[in-house]
Each structure stands twice: as structure tokens, then as C-alpha cells.
Structure 1
Amino acid sequence: MSKNVHIISHSHWDREWYLPFEQHRMRLVELIDKCMEVFEKDDSFKSFFLDGQTIVLDDYLEIRLENKEKLIKYIKEGKFIIGPWYILQDEFYTSGEANIRNLLVGMKEAEKYGAMCKMGYFPDAFGNAGQMPQILKQAGMDTVTFGRGVRPVGFDNEIQENGNYESPYSEMMWESPDGTKIFGILFANWYNNGNEVPTDKKSAKEYWDDRLKKVATFASTDEYLLMNGCDHQPVQADLGKAIEVASELYPDINFKHSNFPDYIKAIKEKVPNDLAVVKGELTSQDTDGWSTLINCASSHIYLKQMNRKCESALENGAEPVRVLSSVLGQNYPSDELEYSWKKLMQNHPHDSICCCSVDEVQDEMATRFNKSKQVADYLVSEGTRYIADKINTKEYEKYKNALPFVVFNTTGRKRTSVVSVEIDVTRKSGWLKKCAYDLDEINVPNYKLIDSAGNSIPFKIEDLGVRFGYDLPKDKFRQPYMARRVRVTFEAENISAVGYKTYALVEGDAEKVTDTLVSGENCMENDAIRVEINKNGSLNVTDKASGRTYKGVAYYEETGDLGNEYMYKMPEGSKAITTQDTVAKIELAEDEPYRAMYKITNTITVPKSGDDNFEDEKRHMVFFKERVGGRSNDTVEMKIETFVSLDKNGKGVKIKTRFDNEVKDHRVRIMVPTGINSDVHKADSVFEVVTRNNRHNAGWNNPSGCEHEQGFVSIDDGEKGIAVANIGLYEYEMLPDLDNTIAVTILRAVGEMGDWGVLPTPKAQCLGISETEIEIVPFKGDLISSGAYEECYQFKTDIITAATDCHNGAMPLDYSMINWQGDGLTLTGIKQKGNGEDIILRWVNVSDKPTTLTIQKSDVIDNLYISNIIEKKIKEIDSDNGYFNIEAKTYEIMTVGIAK
């Protein structure tokens, strides 16, 4: 049978990278214009693949709106092949829900334009998340193409015994942890293996002899894939002639200008039955470790933190709040939420969110993050105000001058947390200058804090003085005022899942509470944890349930970095500088009944930057692996401030780190020695708590063994363990030769983009104030059965508050929208369907055991059905004695719809 060579025209379109977005966009406009010109002139030019993302159409039409009908025509005719994604993301730095929103928006836009390529497409993602086969299969796809993560070995070679990341062919099956399999096609010779095909016979012969040999090395059939394009590649307008020449040179081979749907159909009819099965996440583990691009996880950490906060503002803020308010009658803002998601996802392309781009890109990303969060925050404020207005706070009128407020828990489990809320004691309108002076003279009365049952709660009140404010009524002009404002801080206990509790500040003498969590010199403890601060500022953390003490926790390590935005490289022969041998300044910063906090100050002396040799190597583009430069002899004093706090009912120790970074070319990590005897650990990933080996495979020779994480990393031996949760810190390393220390990167400062050119990025040095947050959570048993994983998930979610007044309302003072149970399950998403009607709830089983999701029936929770991730109804769920019981398979992503 003759070979069929499928040549697919495309251009891998990094929306921004070595040029800022608008300059890339100008070239995109030229590309699409040229494609349409070729379509009109050359009938042999069958199609052009627009890189699996629909945002390129939006970017094009913002400039060429007059070509919209022509563009739609070519999409419907199959000339332009689009979708299914909105953008080509990096999965590891985008949450599970963000990945699903990416599909929902991309598929919606592809349908709007008239057609969609139903194929998962990851040409240049820096690895792929293990649950992606399940996600794609639920979205109706049965094929995925990708460029990284698996090492092809050729069909003459045997797979190694532990070769989970190897395949003899470029074709394989990829399996999620839940057992879902999908047909996978690896770009074994990269996605440019058919680029710039020659049209003269001599060059074409040399070209095809080489390309056909290479593709045959890994192909499992005689259906060969040649990708005619590369990064920002202009369309090859004379491809028809090039194919004619190839056909003349190789008459026994069928060269065709093809597309992915045709190629996939052809190859699936011929693939052998013995395809390798690769399982779980694809992160290039079977390599030497130098080019996995993992250290993008610590590039521009401040942007990673903004990303996490924006995702949380939507997933754990605007969406659940507006679902709750919609149950009470407020319109669900589908369009506004999609706009905010789009702004956020425009920062999710792999070269953007990986922060491996020029400085102009990072500047624009910060602006987009701010835009997305501004919308999310507005939607939250409108929703919480609406809900507060529906609550019957008139019950507080029996107290003197009551000032009610509402505390919301938007997570899926009951929550206890320290809360701060600002409340206007009184307001005055009119001549604002006079109002301000009048309010200055007011004495803030004595207050006490009560809950809905009238119980007095320990709290702290701070007089913030006179503040300006304004209301924006829906039916009249803005209303400015001056207010006397106070801040109230306390521990809100047991707020129900997806619900709220109401409290009130009322006039009266608060009960004097002398309780303290300070239990000795530089020591604090609650019923679960004891924290002792050592002279060097590190912590000894005792978990009272297991009896285990973790010693020397939370010290700092600083090293030089001769790498770039992609890769970390410690200078040869240099040593890490740590705070272990320092004497820290330790101060008690807060001593309240609900929380104790210490401020710890460490000072270390570190080199100011890389040396002159290193700078010369960068200018001459010496490959980072070959660099022999070192660190400067000039040094600076680096002062690190650490705020360690323990809440009365806290399950973990919260740590905020702050320092002014004046140093270039270095990395800073917070170190958590565990002493746990285990060869594996667990890390939060996309809809998965993945188990990873502490040591990499034998071929790995990079001294650094960093990995991705999302919300946390943990290690346990089945009887005891410890987790480190974070907000926007995506890089960690397990150090098995250092007591299985968990090392979390909190800063990495470099001065160049890296990759293919000399592209300086001075802003990647991240000079200025650096602030990070982690929580250390010790536990008894394992991560899942102990429930520690839920504490880690809640850490990233802010408590939301809303001040209100005393008024009538139909809603009770305390409320929960949903009552559910399920071991090993975590609630990841609460939203309304795209039409703004059905409520969509999503859980994932992060355990290695099947479990049961039990949901109590209520006025809201009724008429339930199983959905897939793209919100298509699969089957209805029957209730039993007032409960819905749904079986969840191991690692299953489960979406439940509530029909209206």
C-alpha cells in the first residue's frame, strides 16, 4: 500500500512572546489576509489550521471587521479550521476551572463562526496535565495532539520497564488517573517537520529524503503527518507547486494537502493494536531534566500570584456569590462573567502565563489581570449587597445602635477563619469639609460583637478615623459622604458551605476576654498545634493529634541563578546561603484571643548580582547549561520579615514573608524539612492530587528537581504528614537527601528571556517589595482521609464580607445553599449555565478510592442531573428519602446540574 503524506498548513500563533501583543497581532492580520488571498487564487490550497484557538479570530476582526463575512464563509467551507480552545494555555499554571472555561468559550465561539475542530491541541504546552484525557473526552473529543511530555523511542526499541513517559510510535493512548483513554498523536519531529517545502527538484529531493526518513522512524502506519508551519510562520503560498514537485519525485507516495479531521480519520483506520499507553501527567520525566521548562513556574512570581487571585476572584467569588444571589432573584451576569474570564484567559497562553516573554508582555499582563479582577470584584459587591438586603437583619434592632454585617463562605466545606471587616459607625452628607470636622469630634462608643444567636464574640476594634466614601444609586446621581469608620477583626466559626453568617456590632460593654494563644517565650499553641520559634527564626511545629514535631521549619535559602525565564541554573561551585546560622529578631506582633502572631526578622549577606563573566556570557548567547560565570563579589544585606500566625481554631500555621529585593540573578526559597519516611509525595494539580516520586528517573542529571504545583504539596507515611499550601507559588522541589524537605520558591530573579535569542528582560529581576503567603498544615493519617486537603484548598480563598443595616427580609440570618457530603471530594465550581438558567456544580474525587456524593434535597437543590464539563445533560438523578446519592469513581470529575 502506498504511503500517504498529509501536509497540514498552520502557524503556531503565540499571541505574545518575543514581541508584545500588538506587534504580533499586526503579523496575524497579514497572515489571515494572505491566507484568504491564497484561497481565492489557488484551488489546490485546501485549508489552513488556525492553531486550535479562536482568539485569533477576535484579534483579527478587531482590525478587519469588514472581512467578517468572508472569514465566516471560509470557516464554514473548511478552509480555515478553528477551535476548540479560546487560547492555547499552559495547563499547570491555570486552574481546573480555568481550563474548562477555556473550552467553554472556545467551543461557543467556534460554533458562532460555524465550525469546530473537535481535537485537543497542545502543540507547545510545557507539559500536559494528567486529567486532560478525561476533560477532553467529556467535551466530546477522542483525539489529542501534543508536542511535549513523551519521549518517542522508535519501533525498533523496547520501552523501558518504568517508561511511563515513552512510546515507540508517535501514536499512543493517553490515560487519565480515572482510567479514561484518548488517542494521542505526538509531534515526534515537532510541529514544523513539514515547514517551507522546496519547489525546485534538487532541494526538494534532499528535503523529502530527510523528512520522510525522520517521520518513518516513529510513525505506526503509512499515514505520515507533515506540519507545514512553525511559530508565527507566514503561509506558504506556493505549497501547491511544492506538492506537485514532491509527487513527481516520489510517484509511489501520495502527497496531499490535508487537515486534521482527514488525517485523524485515515490514521485511526490503520493504527496497530499494540499502541503504548502513557498514563497521567506528561512532563518529560524521561529526559535529562535540563529542558523541561519547569522553572517557568517561578518566573515573575508576582504575576503568578495575580493569576491565582484573579482565578479565585471568579471561581470562589463572583460565580458562587452571583449563583447565591440569583437564587434570591438577582439576574445572573453571564456576559459580564465571560468578559472577566476572557480578560483573565488572555494571560493564559503558555508564553504569557509561563512568564517567558519580553518585559512589554509582562506589563500588559498586569493590566489584564487588574481588568479581570476589577470586574469580578464589582460583581461580588453587587451580589453581596443584594443578598444582604434580602436578610432579615431587623432582628438586631433589639440591640442598641446595631451595625449588622454578613460573612460569606464560598467554598464547598464548612469554614472557620479570622475575618476583618470595615464598618461605618456613622455617615454625614452635605458640605463634606464640615462633615469631616464634625465626625472628628465624635467619640466612638463602646461596642461588643454578637452573632445571630446573640452570643458575644471576642474581637478587636480599630478606629480608622474619618474616611471619604460614596454611593452609586441605580436611580440617581452619585452620593458622596464622610464616615467615621472602624475595623473589626475576629474569628468567624463554622460558616456553612456556599453560605453566610450574620453578625452585628452593637453598643455595650464587651466581655473582657483574657484568653491567649501565647504559651511561653516565643511560643504559641491552640488545641491542634504548638509552634515554638527557634533563635534562628525557624519553627518547631507540633501536631498534637499525631504527636509529631517538625523541627527547623520555614527557614530561607538563597542561591545564585545563571539561567533565564525558562530555566534555573545555580553557579558551579557555589553554595546556598541560608538563615539557619543567623540570629533572628523575634517580636510578638499580635496577642488576641482569636489569634497570635510573631514578627521574625532575619538578615543574610548575599552577592548583589551575577559577575561580569556571566554578563558577557549572556551577551554572547552562551547556552545557559555551558555557563561558567559566577556571582559578584559585591554584597548587600538582605532583610527578610516573616509574620507567623496561629488562629484559635486554626488547622495550620500561616506564614507571610516580605522583603525588599535589591539582588539580581538569584533565587529565594522557604524550606520545610519534614523528616517523613516516604519515597513519594503528593501535589495539587489540575483536578488532581498527583502522586510523584521524590527522586527523578535515572536519566535525570539536572541538579535541580523542581516540579509544578497549584494549591499545595504534601508528604505523609500513612500515619502522619505535613502539607504546605500557597497562594500563587507554583514551583517546589522535594529534597530527599535533606530530610525530605519541601522547598517552595518565593522569588526567582533573572535578566533574560532565554530560548532562541539575546532578549534582555530587566523587569524579570523582580526588584522591589516581594510578599508571599503559605500555610503549613500538619495532619494525622494521610492527606485525604485527614481532610487536610480541604484546609489547603480553602487557604487560597478569601473570606467575603458585606456591611448592611437593620431591615426586613425573607432570608434567615445564617444560611447555606447546599448541604452535601462525600469523602475525598472537593467542590471546584459553582456557576450558572451559559444561558444563565441551570446551576452547575462540579466536584472532583481527589482520592484513589470510589466514593459517594450525597446532596440533601431542598427548595433550591431539586431536579438534579449529571452533566459533562461542557454542560450537556447526560441523565437525571433520582432522590431517595430527601437525598441524592451519586457514585463518584476514583479521580472522577463530576458535574451536576440543577434544572430550573
Structure 2
Amino acid sequence: MSETKQQKKVAIVVSHTHWDRAWYLTFQQFRHRMVRMIDRLIPLLQQNPDYHSFTLDGQTILLDDYLEIKPYNQNILKQLISSGKMVVGPWYILPDLFLVSGESVIRNLQIGLQTARNYGASMQEGYVPDPFGHFAQLPQVLHKFGIDSFIFMRGLDAESKQKAGSIFNWRSPDGSQVLTTYLADGYFNGAALGYPDQYGRFDGLTPDRELASKRLHEAVEKLKNLQKESVFLINNGFDHMPEQPELPRLLAEINQHANGTGFRHGTFRDFFEAVRKENHPHEIVEGDLLGNADHPILSSVFSTRIYLKQQNHRAQSLLERHTEPLLLWGRFHTNRPDPSDFLGYAWKLLLQNHPHDDICGCSTDGVHEDDEVRFRQVSELAESLIVEQLESMLEQGLQPPGATGAQSADLFVYNPNPWPVTRRIRTCILFANPGAEKGERTPLRKLMACGANAEQVPVTIISSDPHSIRNNFLETSWGRRYEVALSATIPAGGYHILHLYETDEIPAEPAKTDYFRCETGGSVLTGDAGGYRLTIGATGTELRNFIDFEFEHDNGDTYTFGPVPDQQTVTARLTAVEPDPHDPHLLVLRHELDVPVALNSAERTTLRLQTVLQLQHDGSLAVSVQYTNTCSDNRLRIILPAALHTNQALADGHFRLAERQTIAFQTPETDPDRYQAYPGELEYRTRHMNDFLLLDDTRQRTWIATRGLHEFELLQNDEGARVAVTINRSVGLLSTGNGRIRRVQAGPAIRVPGAQCHRTITADLALGMVPASQKEQAVQQARSFAHPVWVREMPYLPHLKTTGRVPRAASIVTIDNPMVALSSFRLHPDGETAVLRVYNLNGNVESTTVRCDIPAHNWAASDLNERWPESGIHTCDKPGQFELTLNPHEIQTILLRTQDTR
């Protein structure tokens, strides 16, 4: 390369901080430091015209955090942001990208972009520097927001790096592309310029120009071999590191002694504009970014503090799949108050738990105690909004039931899936008796239920309390409480209100037996003292005593599982198989594990696991596990059979089904070069799933679904493939080094006793099998388990009229093709438009009929900004009904309006 050519090289130095809101310190401890930093930034940006700009980490929540302490500085921030001196957005929070739903990623960007624009301007680069991987459909998400560039650090594999370098086009399965820069040397390759290290406290030191120049030129040299362009990106910042007010002077002095490269203070936008101006062709990279060519990927976070993942699953599913669709329906059918402010608040509260240091479970205990409070509050608020909607339905009046009794109550059941489901429901209901407070007790009676079509539904009484109290808002009711179980069919994406009433009969005592047999959906489950057997009706597959539990020692940390050499895996022994004494549909298994209480401990204990099996109406088997964990430093997994031979699975991913294969076993002995070289991390044999897995051969397709369990491993034995799903992992250090998978530290070596998870552990899974050709049925069954029906008594409002026009059952949204998955159905912030978001799970074109129970006359496709387009507006075939075609792997957002907009 000629000297003239070298003189044209330029490096854009972007000043920033990467601000984990909570990690090795709590939110309040970090926020205090962040407020002080912004207090210093304000006069620096206002008074020093040579200080080009400062990028506030791509997440607008930092503005909220700051203004909560100093609200009087809001206008100053608006001035700095609108003038480009302070760069904010596009995210609300920087999220983990695997342990949260795809819809939550979209809402995150919507809130972040809108917030930044409210302050004057948003960064339009997809900046996500530090999460532990990036899902393959993220380019499509960014593209549909009008974002055409992407910046990341973790996730590129060595093969892609060799092929594509550090600047390439990352392409989604649908074909969307974003121009991408890979931060091979980190988002800190220009941090703390002039100081002896990139990270730390340098109070009292003056930055050295020669040291700064050496660091900058070394960074450029590393990038030269990875890109064609003559423009380089230098990131002047690190985790929680402060601004460098002397940077303009340092760069000016270094440029006076420039040797082939000039350094210019700027922004990420400046860098991408310069890259595009050079117009070099770039390689294409596809798929999830889960490699670790230069930075550890830390994939065991999928199983750290699993209770957080389960709480997120419940709160997230309740908010996006239950509350929002029901409140949308209520907007057009009942007179309920506008809930948009509450929904917006609930979403922000949920998203505050989605940064990777939160949802991944790799922070100090206090951080995750705060997370649990937020998850509880999201669920409470979502449920309260549903109850308010139910009250509105009662104010309108329900259609009368087909049958009733002297004592009765209504049970509301909501199905979040856009197809009908039949489920056995277990819940509690109270028949009010005002005299019960004084000790008067109504007699125990047999119960019946009446469905919306006047069908009679038998009710199983699990237990009853004649002297029980119910406290709700402005209500204290005494009466007889029943714990009941019954089966019901709930319409597609809708609700069913069942009317339960007492009969004149006295319920018979349940027959006691040691033998269990239940037949549902063509499948048969049997059990006795000798064991248990499942026969799947759809395939004829027979399984005997097929559930195993494996206990392993874990010498790792919150980031990485640590296998312990020469330690045998302990397999649980089955000690009892017995019918549930109260519910004839449940079979109870009991297992025991005799294990050390901790790693290297001579003391031993017995873990006692209870597993409840229940056949579902579709012929699949629900598996519910519970035990009290009193052991440290371990991993416990449930092993389920696939009953077929395969070395790969399709995992439910973000807006797609992702291929996951069996991973070759690696150790520091088999791969010493990889283990010793940075990042010193071998392959993880465990993989990620969202809601379910699909495995198939030429004969059958097996699915395994969970509720908030995201880590699995494909195992093989002579009988075929098995799936290990992690249900608990106990560790005591935030980070440690020299493990069998990861050699380097991933964070500070802080003790985190809460990560040992000494608590009651629960896990909900399901196993199903269908013929190999029935992929759609497998997806439908698995998703239905992962997102179950929501059940609650109707509110007790005794002074309202008893009947009216509100139907006892309604389908709110129906999608007749299971391969067209529902992401969201909700009311637009304008209060008039409905927003339907769906995506194509397949690599083929898919079509479907959509039916929405709202009086919509027009519909149009939109991008993820959800703005009503000027053209392409269609008329519904019927109110709320239209045909939709999706290209392979496409995400589509549809807007519907009640008035004719053409």
C-alpha cells in the first residue's frame, strides 16, 4: 500500500460509557455514580466546542434514571440531545437477546426510539455491545425499524471471522440485511486513553500522550487485517468508565505526530457513513451469533437462577399474550377505562429486568432480589387490569347460564393461543355465605359446571373449607371455598366463562386404589407399585419408567457450568408410583437422590423429588417437578426420551425455528490450544430454546415444551436421542477462572449465595409425539402447553344486574395456520387502531385466515414503528377478517381500524 494511501486512513473515536444499571453493585449504587457522571458531562458538552459528542450507551432508561434524581435538568438534556452533543437510543434498555421474548425486543426498541425522539433525536445504529449472543432474526427487526447498521462484540465464530472479517452484512432468514461491525477488540479498544490500563480508577493521574498514541495505533493495527476500509472504529469507553474531557487535546496532539492514520472524535453514524462512502463489497454472515472467536459467550447463563427465567416467562406471557388482547377486545365491547398508561408502565417495569446482567442471573444477590420484586409487580398489575376488564363485563351483564343452583359462581378461563384448546383446569372458587363469619357453615355439596353452550361439565372436588375468607378490592367475603378440577374447551385466542353451582347431592368419597389408569386424547397412562407406562395414541409409542433425573457437581460460576473431573453423575432412584388421592387424572412419582450437600463435602443428604404426571386432551403428557434444594454446587437435569434416533433438533427461537445439533465433547486436554488462548472458552454442549423443541425421524415427531426452562442438551444412547433439560443449577461465585469449559474470568469473583438457589424448585414440562408429517400439530400442542390458560373467579359484585349481552364465550383472535405464529395483538396507543403482529416459522410461503372479534373494516401492513401507511390499505372480507400471506421467515405487523381510511 502506498504512503499516499496510508495518509488517508482515519479512525473515528467514539466517546461512550457502557453502563450496566446493576451488576456487581446494585442499581442505586451504580445510579449514584451515573448521575455524577452526567452532571460532569453537561458543562463539558455545553462549554467545550471541541468535545464532539458523548454516546450514552444506546439505552434511554439512563435519562429516566438521571431525571428521577434531577428532574430540573430535563430541558438541558433535550438541548444536548437535539443538538447531537449527547447521543441516546435506540433502545430503552440494552437487553439480553435470548432469555426474553422476541416481542419484548420490539417493544424495547419502540419505547427507546420514541423516548429518544421526544428528547430531540435518536441514534439510528443497532448498538448492542455486550449481550451473550444475538438471535438470527435481529437484522429483520432492526430493518423494520429503519435501522440499517449493527454493532456488536460477542458472538462471532472463528470461521465467520476468517471469512467475513470485522465489517460484513448480517442477513436474517427472511433476507433482511444490516451493515455490521464486529468489535473484535471490544467496545473498549480506546478506553482510558493515556492511562496505564483500559479499566480502573485513575484519580490523580494525568493521561500520557505517548501512551494514548501507542494504544490508538495498536488498535488500528489489529483492525487493519480484518477489514478493507480505511476508516476504523475506536471506542473510547468501558463498563461504567467516566468521560475523558481531555480527549480533544490528546487527539489533536497525536494527529500532529500522525504516521499514516488520523484520529477524529465522532459518532457511530460518522463511522458507518464513512464505510458506506468507500463502497466496498462485503461478505454475508447468517444465523445466530453465538460464537466465541474473541470474547467469551458465557452460555450457561441460560440456567443460572432459573427462578428468574420462570418468573419472566409468567409475567411476560401474562402481559403480552393475555392482558393486552383481552383489553383490546374490551375497548370495542365494554365500557372499561383506558388502560394504556398502566400497560406502558408495566412494559417498562418488565423491560427493566431484561438487561443481561439481570435476566441472566449473573449479578449480586441484591440485584436479583430487586428483579423478583419487579416481576411480581408486573404480574400483579397485569392481573389487576384483567380484573378491571372482567368488572366491565359484569357491568354490561353476562348472558344467563344454561343451568344454575342455589349457590353458584362464575369461573373465567382465558386461552392465549389463536386456536381452541381443551384443558383440565385446577383452581379455587368461593361460594359466598355472609353468615360464615359467625361460624355458620354451609354443607358440602357436589358441584357441576355449565358451559357457554349449556353443556354440563363434571367437577372434581379436590378439597373444601367451609369457613374461608376472600379479600379483594373493597370486598371481604366469607363462605365455602372449593378447590376444584374440571375440563373445558376455550375458544381460539379467547375466553370461556363457566358457571359452577352446588347440586343437592353429597359428593362421594374418592375410591382408594394403588392402580392408576387414565386415557385421554388417544394416549394411555398407567401406573402401580411396579412402575408406570405411557402409550402415545398418535404414534403407538410405548414408554416405561422413562423419566430420569441426573445430579452433577458444578464447580463453575453464574456464567459457565463447571464440570468436575472424576465425579460420577448421580441418577435418581424411583421410590414410589401412586395415584393422587384426590384427583383421578394425576399420577405421582417420587424419586430420591443421595448426594453431597456441597462440592468436596463429606456430609450427604437426600433430595426428594415429586413429579406429577397428567395426560393432556391432545394426548401429550404434562410433567410437573418439585423439590426443595438444600445442596450447593450442582446441576440437576430431567432426562426425557425422544423415542427416535436423531442428532439435531428444531428449537423454538426468536421469530423462527432454529436448528440445534449435538455438540462434540471438548476438554482442556482434547483442545489445549483453544483453552489456553484468549478467550479460553470451549464449546458449550448445552443449547437454548424458547418454548419448545421438535425432534423427528421418518416415522414420528417428538416435542418437548417448558415454561421458562431454556437450557437443553441432546444426548444419545442405544435407544436413541434423549433430551436433558436443566431444572436447577447451583453456584456460589459470580465469576471464577480455570474451569473445565472457561479458563478466563468473566467478572469479579464475588460470592453470591443466592445463586445456590436454596429454595423450592419447580419445573413444568410436557412431552408429546405425533406422526412425522404433522409438524403443525406438534407446534400447536407445544405452544399451548408453554402458554397455558389463565383462570380466575369472576369478581364478586352482588349489586349489579345479573344478566346482559356479554357472551359467556368469545374468540378474540383466530389464526388457522399454526405455522403463522402470534407475537402480539393489542390496542395501538392512538386508542382506535388494533395492532396484530405475526411471523412465519417456516422457510416456505405461508397463508392464513385471520379472524378478530373487533369491528375492523380496513387493514394494512406496517413496519415495526406501527404507523398507518398512506397506501396499501385493504378492506376486510368481513369485520375483523382477512387473508394474509407471509414470505419465508417474515415478521408482519398489521394495523386494523374501525373507520374506513381510504
Same fold? TM cut 0.5: yes
Asked if the contact 1:717/1:782 (under 8 Å) is kept, the reply is no
SS at match of 2:440: helix
Q: Per-residue CA shift, 1:607-635, capped at 9, x if unaligned?
A: 11112xxxxxxxxxxxxxxxxxxxx2321
Partner of 1:760: 751
User: 2:883 is aligned with what amino acid?
Assistant: N
Asked if the contact 1:297/1:708 (under 8 Å) is kept, the reply is yes
TM-fit CA distance, 1:848? 2.3
Asked if the contact 2:528/2:577 (under 8 Å) is kept, the reply is no
Q: Distance in 2 between matches of 1:770 and 1:25?
A: 33
Partner of 1:679: 647
Partner of 1:750: 731
Q: Per-residue CA shift, 1:32-60, capped at 9, x if unaligned?
A: 11212222342111100011100000001
User: 2:83 is aligned with what amino acid?
Assistant: E
TM-fit CA distance, 1:437? 2.5
Asked if the contact 1:725/1:795 (under 8 Å) is kept, the reply is yes
Q: Distance in 2 between matches of 1:283 and 1:891?
A: 20
Partner of 1:653: 621
- In the alignment, does 2:216 pair up with 1:208? yes
Q: Which of the residues 694, 701, 717 maps onto 1:721?
A: 701
- In the alignment, does 2:421 pair up with 1:415? yes
Asked if the contact 1:552/1:673 (under 8 Å) is kept, the reply is no
- Alpha-carbon spacing, 1:514–1:713, altered in 2? closer, same or farther (3 Å): farther
Q: Distance in 1 between matches of 2:285 and 2:581?
A: 52
In structure 1, stretches of 5+ residues that fail to align are 153-162, 429-433, 473-477, 612-631
* Counterparts of residues 560-571 of structure 1 (less than 5 Å): 560-571=553-564
- Alpha-carbon spacing, 1:118–1:90, altered in 2? closer, same or farther (3 Å): same
Partner of 2:690: 710
Partner of 1:629: none
- In the alignment, does 2:183 pair up with 1:190? no
Q: Distance in 1 between matches of 2:525 and 2:512?
A: 10
- In the alignment, does 2:317 pair up with 1:312? yes
Asked if the contact 2:528/2:578 (under 8 Å) is kept, the reply is no
- In the alignment, does 2:684 pair up with 1:695? no
Partner of 1:175: 171
* Counterparts of residues 462-477 of structure 1 (less than 5 Å): 462-470=463-471, 472=473
Q: Distance in 2 between matches of 1:515 and 1:891?
A: 51
User: 2:791 is aligned with what amino acid?
Assistant: I
- In the alignment, does 2:637 pair up with 1:636? no
Partner of 2:775: 784
- In the alignment, does 2:598 pair up with 1:600? no
Q: Per-residue CA shift, 1:745-793, capped at 9, x if unaligned?
A: 0000000100233211011111121111111122222563334344334
Partner of 2:254: 246
TM-fit CA distance, 1:237? 1.2
Partner of 1:327: 332
- In the alignment, does 2:38 pair up with 1:49? no
Q: Distance in 2 between matches of 1:561 and 1:507?
A: 53
TM-fit CA distance, 1:201? 4.4
Asked if the contact 2:332/2:854 (under 8 Å) is kept, the reply is no
Moved more, 782-791 or 128-137: 782-791
TM-fit CA distance, 1:151? 3.5
Q: Distance in 2 between matches of 1:76 and 1:800?
A: 48
- Alpha-carbon spacing, 1:550–1:372, altered in 2? closer, same or farther (3 Å): same
- Alpha-carbon spacing, 1:87–1:661, altered in 2? closer, same or farther (3 Å): same
Asked if the contact 2:548/2:640 (under 8 Å) is kept, the reply is yes
Q: Which of the residues 69, 91, 98 maps onto 2:97?
A: 91
Partner of 1:897: 895
Moved more, 548-557 or 96-105: 548-557
* Counterparts of residues 234-633 of structure 1 (less than 5 Å): 234-250=242-258, 252-273=260-281, 275-284=282-291, 291-328=296-333, 329-396=335-402, 402-428=408-434, 435-440=436-441, 442-461=442-461, 462-470=463-471, 472=473, 478-493=474-489, 495-508=490-503, 521-532=515-526, 540-550=533-543, 552-579=545-572, 582-589=573-580, 596-611=585-600, 632-633=601-602
- Alpha-carbon spacing, 1:86–1:208, altered in 2? closer, same or farther (3 Å): closer
Partner of 2:226: 218
Q: Per-residue CA shift, 1:448-475, capped at 9, x if unaligned?
A: 2222333221211342322223454xxx
User: 1:284 is aligned with what amino acid?
Assistant: G
Q: Distance in 2 between matches of 1:656 and 1:688?
A: 27
TM-fit CA distance, 1:673? 2.5
SS at match of 1:740: strand
TM-fit CA distance, 1:859? 5.5
TM-fit CA distance, 1:375? 0.9
User: 1:757 is aligned with what amino acid?
Assistant: P
User: 1:607 is aligned with what amino acid?
Assistant: P
- Alpha-carbon spacing, 1:164–1:458, altered in 2? closer, same or farther (3 Å): farther
SS at match of 1:585: strand
* Counterparts of residues 22-33 of structure 1 (less than 5 Å): 22-33=28-39
Partner of 1:150: 156
Q: Distance in 2 between matches of 1:398 and 1:534?
A: 39
TM-score by length of 2: 0.89
TM-fit CA distance, 1:396? 4.5
TM-fit CA distance, 1:837? 2.3
In structure 2, stretches of 5+ residues that fail to align are 195-206, 676-681, 736-745
- In the alignment, does 2:873 pair up with 1:876? yes
Q: Distance in 2 between matches of 1:91 and 1:688?
A: 14
Asked if the contact 1:838/1:898 (under 8 Å) is kept, the reply is yes
Q: Distance in 2 between matches of 1:137 and 1:500?
A: 36
TM-fit CA distance, 1:853? 2.2
Partner of 1:157: none
Q: Distance in 2 between matches of 1:712 and 1:66?
A: 48
Give the count of matched residue pairs. 848
SS at match of 1:360: helix
TM-fit CA distance, 1:715? 0.9
Partner of 1:662: 630
Q: Per-residue CA shift, 1:825-855, capped at 9, x if unaligned?
A: 1212111112232111111111222111212
TM-fit CA distance, 1:567? 0.3
Asked if the contact 1:532/1:540 (under 8 Å) is kept, the reply is yes
- Alpha-carbon spacing, 1:181–1:318, altered in 2? closer, same or farther (3 Å): same
Moved more, 479-488 or 115-124: 479-488
Q: Distance in 1 between matches of 2:644 and 2:336?
A: 51
TM-fit CA distance, 1:596? 1.5
TM-fit CA distance, 1:794? 4.0
TM-score by length of 1: 0.89
User: 1:312 is aligned with what amino acid?
Assistant: S
Partner of 1:624: none
Give the RMSD, CA atoms, in angstroms. 2.7
Q: Distance in 1 between matches of 2:399 and 2:785?
A: 28
Q: Distance in 1 between matches of 2:93 and 2:215?
A: 33
TM-fit CA distance, 1:438? 4.2
TM-fit CA distance, 1:446? 4.2
SS at match of 2:98: helix
Asked if the contact 2:403/2:454 (under 8 Å) is kept, the reply is no
Partner of 1:734: 714
TM-fit CA distance, 1:252? 4.2
TM-fit CA distance, 1:180? 1.4
Asked if the contact 2:445/2:506 (under 8 Å) is kept, the reply is no
Partner of 1:159: none
Q: Per-residue CA shift, 1:100-119, capped at 9, x if unaligned?
A: 11111111211111110112
Asked if the contact 2:574/2:589 (under 8 Å) is kept, the reply is no
Asked if the contact 1:456/1:510 (under 8 Å) is kept, the reply is no
TM-fit CA distance, 1:509? 5.3
TM-fit CA distance, 1:331? 3.1
Asked if the contact 1:318/1:377 (under 8 Å) is kept, the reply is yes
- Alpha-carbon spacing, 1:517–1:28, altered in 2? closer, same or farther (3 Å): farther
Q: Distance in 2 between matches of 1:598 and 1:333?
A: 42
Partner of 2:820: 825
TM-fit CA distance, 1:414? 0.8
Q: Distance in 2 between matches of 1:207 and 1:499?
A: 60
Q: Distance in 2 between matches of 1:880 and 1:515?
A: 53
Partner of 2:198: none
